[in-house]
């Protein structure tokens, strides 16, 4: 299921980012999208491409159940000037898919974790090679606590025997591996973990839990404000050094001294 929306924003934020922020990911993008629709991104143009249930490991296969790879490619390729792709993927891997495969297929958690990260990195490198300067964001921390058995997602994920602690620890490992991979590949990485984690429990800070305890997304207003502040600050700081494609016409003008 794909949910795509755009909005022109409002005057709420000064000095808008002129490039279009193109968010691609799973349903956890509902949080920054809600903030955008509330005008918190100001005049910064944004596009949100949500593929419900999208996984990083699924980026290996164009025939995956969600077909996220096909949809993301069709949105970004060929290269379009003035677009910054921002990815939010991984929560479904860490909170559900990896554990379910371990239970049903006997595959090790570590092997699947590596496969997920490897698939994600390969896709990010593909997008970078096309001419973009993509940003990968950390996977959202798990929100569903042990014993949550109401709601569609809760009932589906009840099949997973891993505890809330185990799912969170795996997500933290995932984010650290993703960060290291992005450094190696020259991909920008934006880590929300320090913003949303409780430093004492090393679990999600309760302040950011959704008001509906059976909703596995973060609190839309509280987490949304964090998304806006961190993304805009991150993009503004990196834009001056971001590589740009120079058109052949402009190159000739420079050669001719104009």
Contact 116, 93 (CB under 8 A): yes
**More confident of the two residues 249 and 36:** 36
Contact 153, 216 (CB under 8 A): yes
Give the pLDDT of residue 239: 56
Give the pLDDT of residue 68: 81
Q: Could you give the strand order of the β-sheet that contains 46-51, starting from the edge strand earlier in sequence? A: 2-7, 46-51, 20-25, 83-88, 135-137, 188-190
Q: How many domains does the chain have?
A: 1
Quote the CA–CA distance of 145 and 99 in Å, as a whole number: 15
Question: Taking the model in full, what pTM does it have?
Answer: 0.83
Domain that holds residue 49: 2-255
Residue 105: CATH number of its domain: 3.40.50.1110
Which range has the worst mean pLDDT, 25-39, 82-96, 120-134, 227-241? Answer: 227-241
Q: What is the pLDDT of residues 147-185, one digit of tens each?
A: 655 555 445 556 777 889 999 999 999 999 999 999 999
């Amino acid at each position: 299921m794909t949910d795509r929306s755009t909005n022109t924003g409002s005057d709420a934020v000064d000095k808008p980012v002129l490039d279009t922020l193109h968010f691609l990911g799973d349903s956890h993008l509902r949080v920054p999208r809600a903030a955008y629709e509330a005008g918190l991104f100001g005049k910064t143009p944004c596009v949100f491409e949500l593929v419900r249930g999208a996984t990083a490991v699924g980026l290996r296969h164009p025939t995956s159940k969600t077909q996220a790879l096909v949809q993301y490619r069709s949105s970004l390729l060929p290269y379009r000037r003035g677009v910054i792709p921002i990815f939010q993927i991984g929560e479904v891997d860490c909170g559900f898919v990896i554990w379910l495969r371990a239970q049903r297929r006997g595959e090790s958690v570590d092997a699947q974790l590596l496969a997920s990260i490897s698939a994600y990195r390969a896709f990010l490198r593909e997008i970078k090679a096309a001419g973009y300067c993509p940003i990968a964001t950390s996977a959202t921390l798990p929100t569903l606590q042990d014993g949550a058995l109401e709601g569609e997602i809760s009932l589906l994920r009840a099949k997973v025997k891993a505890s809330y602690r185990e799912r969170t620890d795996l997500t933290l490992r995932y984010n650290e591996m993703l960060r290291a991979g992005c450094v190696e590949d020259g991909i920008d990485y934006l880590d929300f973990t320090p913003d949303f984690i409780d430093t004492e429990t090393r679990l999600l800070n309760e302040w950011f839990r959704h008001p509906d305890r059976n909703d596995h997304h973060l609190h839309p207003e509280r987490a949304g404000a964090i998304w806006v502040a961190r993304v805009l600050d991150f993009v503004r700081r990196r834009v001056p050094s971001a590589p740009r494609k120079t058109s052949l016409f402009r190159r000739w003008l420079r050669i001719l001294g104009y």
